[in-house]
Amino acid sequence: MNTTSVYIAYTGGTIGMKPSRHGYVPQPGFMSSYLDSLPELKRPEIPHFIVHEYDELIDSANMTPEHWQQIADDIKKHYHNYDAFIILHGTDTMAYTASALSFMLENLAKPVIITGSQIPISGLRSDGLANLLNSLYLVAHYPIREVTLFFNNQLFRGNRSTKSHADGFDAFSSPNYPVLVEAGININVNYAALNVAPQGEFKVHNITPQPIGVVMLYPGISPDVIGNILQQPVNALILLTFGIGNAPNNPKILQLLHAAYQKGIIVLNLTQCFSGKVNMGGYATGNALEKVGVISGHDMTVEAALAKLHFLLSQPLSFEGVRQKMSRNLHGEISL
């Protein structure tokens, strides 16, 4: 029998929902009792686990930074009592939570897997049991000591994952980083892609909600669209630009972005392409952004960039300190 002890936190999400007149809704008490009835989870290869169902089950569309903090604090509370952690979570914002936890859980030396399902675990053809079974098997037999996301037989680095399919079982991808584990007939671990083992003491960082704007550029975008957002009390703005980081060289847009820089607003350049990275030196239109104070997000996902901004803006850092760390690889979120 496997001696690994696993803490499963059920935060909400499709995996534990039941149908109602208004669509799927979280069902308090259901997940724990249902898992207890499954013979597959009593096999000797499966580690011992307990299920903690949150008092307020969350549809992940309602997930907030306060919920990220709740999950991180829950892991902290039980960190020394369990060998691994599995977070059951809704798919809509799963990659955001995985990214946030990767920054909040410093010197993590135990596996943390976030998973869920596209069909409730009690439903016909559900993917939920396979995702949970594989997650339990991996933390017991192939423990990868970082925040990861498991879905459809693949384990991704949490802060490299993104939801790429709205209604398919292959709901998640890692466009700019290799998959960590392929769980087929054989378990294939990409050891070269894993994070280096931490050396320091485990620590949970606190974050506070930050006002952050996100603008996707499009042909003919009015400067007023960007200007109206920058008039709000935002601490950062993510620009989803064309190709390798290009934007219209409209003087009004560039003036607005430079004024934001002078006001201490972080402006981050991410490509709106599914994969690839920003290179603001490639074209004059990208270079113009760099000259007015926009910084490169390299190949970060939107989820990782947003979570990283929340994390850094919650720390006692100067404006320049945040800018510098946004361009550094902190927890495997950037390829440099």
CATH number of residue 75's parent domain: 3.40.50.1170
| Per-residue pLDDT, 61 | 92
Amino acid letter for position 166: A
| Per-residue pLDDT, 1 | 60
What is the count of structural domains for the chain? 2
The pTM assigned to this predicted structure is: 0.96
| Per-residue pLDDT, 263 | 97
Looking at the structure, do residues 121 and 224 belong to the same domain, yes or no?
A: no
| Per-residue pLDDT, 222 | 97
Helix, strand, coil percentages for the chain (3-state, nearest 5): 35, 20, 45
Looking at the structure, do residues 83 and 157 belong to the same domain, yes or no?
A: yes
Single out the residue in 158, 186, 204 at which a domain terminates: 204
Q: Report how far residue 127's alpha carbon sits from residue 152's, in angstroms, rounded to the nearest whole number.
A: 8
Number of helices (H), then strands (E), belonging to the chain: the values are: 9, 18
Looking at the structure, do residues 136 and 10 belong to the same domain, yes or no?
A: yes
Q: For residue 121, which of 205, 24, 192, 43 has the smallest C-alpha distance?
A: 24
Looking at the structure, do residues 224 and 124 belong to the same domain, yes or no?
A: no
Q: Report how far residue 279's alpha carbon sits from residue 287's, in angstroms, rounded to the nearest whole number.
A: 9
Residue numbering of the annotated binding site for substrate: 60, 91-92
Summarize pLDDT for 208-241 with one digit per residue, the tens: 999 999 999 999 999 999 999 999 999 999 999 9
Q: Report how far residue 229's alpha carbon sits from residue 261's, in angstroms, rounded to the nearest whole number.
A: 14
Looking at the structure, do residues 242 and 320 belong to the same domain, yes or no?
A: yes
Joined tokens for residue 284: 């004059």
Looking at the structure, do residues 200 and 223 belong to the same domain, yes or no?
A: no
Looking at the structure, do residues 220 and 323 belong to the same domain, yes or no?
A: yes
Which segments in the chain show pLDDT lower than 50? none
Joined tokens for residue 197: 């083992």
Summarize pLDDT for 116-170 with one digit per residue, the tens: 999 999 888 999 999 999 999 999 999 999 999 999 999 999 999 999 999 999 9
Residue 132 inside a domain? The answer is yes
Residue 334 inside a domain? The answer is no
Joined tokens for residue 268: 């981050």
CATH number at 283 reads: 3.40.50.40
Looking at the structure, do residues 52 and 171 belong to the same domain, yes or no?
A: yes
| Residues tagged active-site | 14, 91
Looking at the structure, do residues 236 and 323 belong to the same domain, yes or no?
A: yes
CA end-to-end span of the chain: 43
Residue numbering of the annotated binding site: 60, 91-92
Single out the residue in 176, 204, 232 at which a domain terminates: 204
Amino acid letter for position 269: N
Residue 239 exposure: Cα atoms within 13 Å on the Cβ side = 35
Residue 332 inside a domain? The answer is no
Q: What angle do CA 267, 269, 272 make, to 5 degrees?
A: 135
* CB 93 within 8 Å of CB 60: yes
Residue 232 exposure: Cα atoms within 13 Å on the Cβ side = 14
Looking at the structure, do residues 168 and 220 belong to the same domain, yes or no?
A: no
Residue 336 inside a domain? The answer is no
Q: For residue 118, which of 90, 96, 97 has the smallest C-alpha distance?
A: 90
Looking at the structure, do residues 236 and 174 belong to the same domain, yes or no?
A: no
Range of the domain at 283: 212-327
Residue 273 inside a domain? The answer is yes
Single out the residue in 167, 188, 204 at which a domain terminates: 204
- Give the number of other CB atoms < 10 A from CB of residue 171: 22
Amino acid letter for position 131: N
Residue 172 inside a domain? The answer is yes
Looking at the structure, do residues 263 and 147 belong to the same domain, yes or no?
A: no
* CB 152 within 8 Å of CB 39: no
Residue 333 inside a domain? The answer is no
